[in-house]
Each structure stands twice: as C-alpha cells, then as structure tokens.
Amino acid sequence: MSIVWREGIISDVEIRLLNKRTDSRGWLSELFRSDELKPELLPAMCYVSETLPGVTRGPHEHVDQTDFFAFFGPGDLKLHLWDYRPDSPTYCYKMIVLVGASNPTVVIVPPGVVHAYRCVSDIPALVLNAPNRLYAGKGKKENVDEIRHENITDSPFVLDE
C-alpha cells in the first residue's frame, strides 16, 4: 500500500505540556482533571508501561478507544502519529513529537489515528495511559479494540529515524 504522508498537525489530537511543580521533595504534575476533559474521554482504566532503549511499541490504532498518554520520563520517546481517518480534514497527515523527560507531555490520541513510539534515550521511558475504554471490555471478555500494523508487510506506517 502506498500512501503519501504530509507533515502537519492532526485534527483531534491534543498535545498538552505537563506543568511540573517542583519543591524540595521532588515534583508533582496534574495529568488530567475531570472538569477539563470531555465526558466521553474520561478514563475507564489506567496502566503504566516501561519501554527500553531502542524498543518500539506499535504502530497500531483503535476503532473506538481514545488513548490518554502521559509521557514524563525518565527517558525520551519519539511519538509517531498518522491520521488514517478518511473523513478527517487531516487524512494522510503525520506528526512526530519528542516526548518524555525533556518534553513532559500529555497526548490524547483519538480512534483511527495510528500511533507508535520508540525509546530514543539511553535509559528506559515510562508511559502512563488512561484510555476511555476497558482493555478487552468488562471482565476482559470482549475483543481487544486494537488494529496492529507492526507485522504487516509493506505497512504504510513506517517510523522515520
């Protein structure tokens, strides 16, 4: 499949810098507040993952789920986003954003936006995700809302170095 991607801001993707409040004990940063999110984006669950140096997670997308990622360190990741929604005004746009310790960021990724990230630092990076859907549904008895692209031959979702 051959798609020509255009660089640009993707519609409905929200990127927010995290405001770290630092004192003698360390730091604190609000990731989200229910009074600042649309009701349909409120988290249904939350998990944290570690990505080791040089490791890539994705690319994949969701049909219904919106991901609410918090990238805060200690390492850095290069986040890749591709708008694969035919009805979107930014269809076939791609974005690359450095996130993590050097750029603490929350990124909200809507359904249909393919995403992947690679740890580009010499130390692991932690990622918190608070999606608005339960993984595998209630009681983990439903199909997982995930379309995986990483093992597809000739995938149009290629991570630039």
Per-residue model confidence (pLDDT) at position 1:
57
Per-residue model confidence (pLDDT) at position 151:
85
Q: How would DSSP label each residue in 58-125?
A: EEEE-SS--EEEEEEEESEEEEEEEE--TTSTTTTEEEEEEEETTB-EEEEE-TTEEEEEEE-SSS-E
Number of domains in the chain: 1
Checking if the pLDDT of 132 tops 80, the result is: yes
Structure tokens at 14: 């929200």
pLDDT tens-digit readout, 72-87? 999 999 999 999 999 9
> Residue 85 sits in a domain of what CATH number?
2.60.120.10
pLDDT tens-digit readout, 10-62? 999 999 999 989 999 998 999 999 999 999 999 999 999 999 999 999 999 99
Share above pLDDT 70 across residues of the chain, in percent, rounded to a whole number: 99
Residue range(s) defining the domain that contains residue 82: 6-19+37-133
70 band by pLDDT with thresholds 50, 70 and 90: very high
pTM value? Answer: 0.93
Phi/psi for 41 (5° steps) reads -100, -5
Q: Quick check: helix, strand or coil at residue 127? A: strand
Per-residue model confidence (pLDDT) at position 154:
87
Query: Is the Cβ–Cβ distance between 38 and 128 less than 8 Å?
Result: no
Cα separation, 126 vs 71, whole angstroms: 7
User: What is the average pLDDT across 92-112?
Assistant: 97
Number of other CB atoms surrounding residue 88 within 10 Å: 16
Per-residue model confidence (pLDDT) at position 2:
76
143 band by pLDDT with thresholds 50, 70 and 90: very high
Checking if the pLDDT of 92 tops 90, the result is: yes
82 located within any domain: yes
109 located within any domain: yes
73 located within any domain: yes
89 located within any domain: yes
29 located within any domain: no
